[in-house]
Structure 1
Amino acid sequence: MSRTAAILLAAGTGSRMQGTVDDKVLAPLAGRPVFAHSAVAFMASGIADFYVVVYRDQRQMTELAAYAPTPSALVAGGRERQDSVMNALSSLPGDIDYVFIHDCARPLIRPEQLVALHKIVRRENAVVLAHRVTDTIKEHTIMSRGKAGDSSRLRTLDRAKLWAMETPQVFSRELIVRAYAKVVSLGRRITDDAAAVELLREPVALLENPYPNPKLTTPADLAYLEFLLSR
């Protein structure tokens, strides 16, 4: 029988919070720390047999441990997000077949979405929670720079083909380990896990999210998240 692990990333520095909170994943949100919302959703879904909680420092580790799902391992994060993911992957038990990777700064994940992702990954090997882009997106290219200003060019991208990536992102263990090995061999810097799989030219399925799932990035996001949770 296949077994699944969930990597819960909590080691980010939160520099764009401008010092309004000591630690954004431990900031209070609707009566519990931001991190706890993700932990509770995962436990309610029942999809994971094992958890890896990635922490930033010893002080944070102690506080996260109080809310960590069980059974779990607490693993130190790295300098970049991809380093944290690789640390977590290397700590997984040998019998894990599928891996969820979730940024705990996204506290609005729902248990039913986790169950749906779990079903898809066993068929597709890679699936990402995502939403369609509704804004008009333009590519901006600087052609030349001069005293009178920059000469630049805009190109409108086809909005129908654009999706914004969220987390969780879910993979077969064999695929995501191989993908991160490719990242290392190429010396690439990536910002999400699907980008690693793209380097292998492997397909990644999308699960459209009809609900808001914003990432806590700036101080204003806390009030927005509180509003969404109140609904």
Structure 2
Amino acid sequence: MTISVVPAAGLGRRLNPTTPVPKALQPLCGKPLISWVMATLERVPVIDGIVVVVPPGNGAAFEALRQREGWQKPCQFVDGGADRQQSVWQGLRALPPETEWVIVHDAARPLVTPALVLAVWEAAREIGSAAIAALPCTDTVKRSLDGALIAETLDRQQLWLAQTPQAFAADILLTAHEQAIQEGYTATDDAMLVERLGVPVRLVLGDPTNLKVTYPTDLCVAEALLKLCRREVAAN
């Protein structure tokens, strides 16, 4: 069994600081961000169910959206934690015991495609552990110790920019999170936790359009990309 865990507990203060609406419910071309993600996950045949991690106290709003849009796959809503890592952990705790594979995908990446989700899942299964979508770094990356002066320039040929989806063997991801909790370690994505176990994580070429919506300008870019895609589909 493969379950997708969707972290959607962010409040989106950087996206819309004046309106206290969960980021996943922010509109994009007339639909909430989470709706675009769910529409994609519903088209991935290997996904048997979905756990959506929501801001505490917002489960009813997400359930109403599920009913209104008629999501077909089994879907469970659980309250998130204080940060992304804790929210994913809450999602993992809700997994059915027969879960073998977990696909983690952020609600803040609404333009993900079924093909990318499937490619990451297949890569993880191929090596028996984990895989993530990522893009090779094209910018020159500087490291600074104080935010004012450059300490060094990193070799971008060795750098990749992590995205989601990220797929994992369920037992490996659970162990990685449990160890992080015991050691008080905080990571910015789930692959970081798995890497600490010494488990191989494969890179799968991501998609430049699979952007993470963080700031209002990101929402504008995502809207433009969606409209462009619609025009291309209509033209064909």
Q: Is TM (by shorter chain) over 0.5?
A: yes
Give the structure 1 partner of residue 82 of structure 2.
Answer: 79
Give how far 1:18 is off: 4.0
Alignment of 1:29-178 (within 5 A): 29-58=28-57, 60-65=58-63, 66-67=65-66, 70-124=73-127, 125-142=129-146, 152-178=149-175
Give how far 1:70 is off: 2.5
The answer (yes or no) to whether the contact 2:9–2:22 under 8 Å persists in 1 is no
Q: Which amino acid aligns with 1:182?
A: Q
Alpha-carbon distance between aligned partners in 2 of 1:88 and 1:27, rounded to the nearest angstrom:
21
Gaps of 5+ in 2: 229-236
Specify whether residues 14 and 69 from structure 1 end up closer, same or farther in structure 2 by C-alpha distance, changes over 3 A only.
farther
The answer (yes or no) to whether the contact 1:20–1:219 under 8 Å persists in 2 is no
Q: SS where residue 53 of structure 1 aligns?
A: strand
The answer (yes or no) to whether the contact 1:99–1:171 under 8 Å persists in 2 is yes
**Worse-superposed segment, 202-211 or 221-230:** 202-211
Give the structure 2 partner of residue 227 of structure 1.
Answer: 224
Q: What's the TM-score once normalised by structure 1's chain length?
A: 0.90
Which structure: greater strand fraction? 1
Gaps of 5+ in 1: 143-149
Alpha-carbon distance between aligned partners in 2 of 1:20 and 1:131, rounded to the nearest angstrom:
33
Match for 1:205 among 202, 219, 225? 202
Give how far 1:63 is off: 2.3
What is the CA RMSD across the aligned residues, in angstroms?
A: 1.7
Structure 1 or 2, whichever has the larger Rg, is 1
The answer (yes or no) to whether the contact 2:22–2:55 under 8 Å persists in 1 is no
Q: SS where residue 46 of structure 1 aligns?
A: coil
The answer (yes or no) to whether the contact 1:47–1:114 under 8 Å persists in 2 is no
Aligned residues: 221
Give the structure 2 partner of residue 180 of structure 1.
Answer: 177
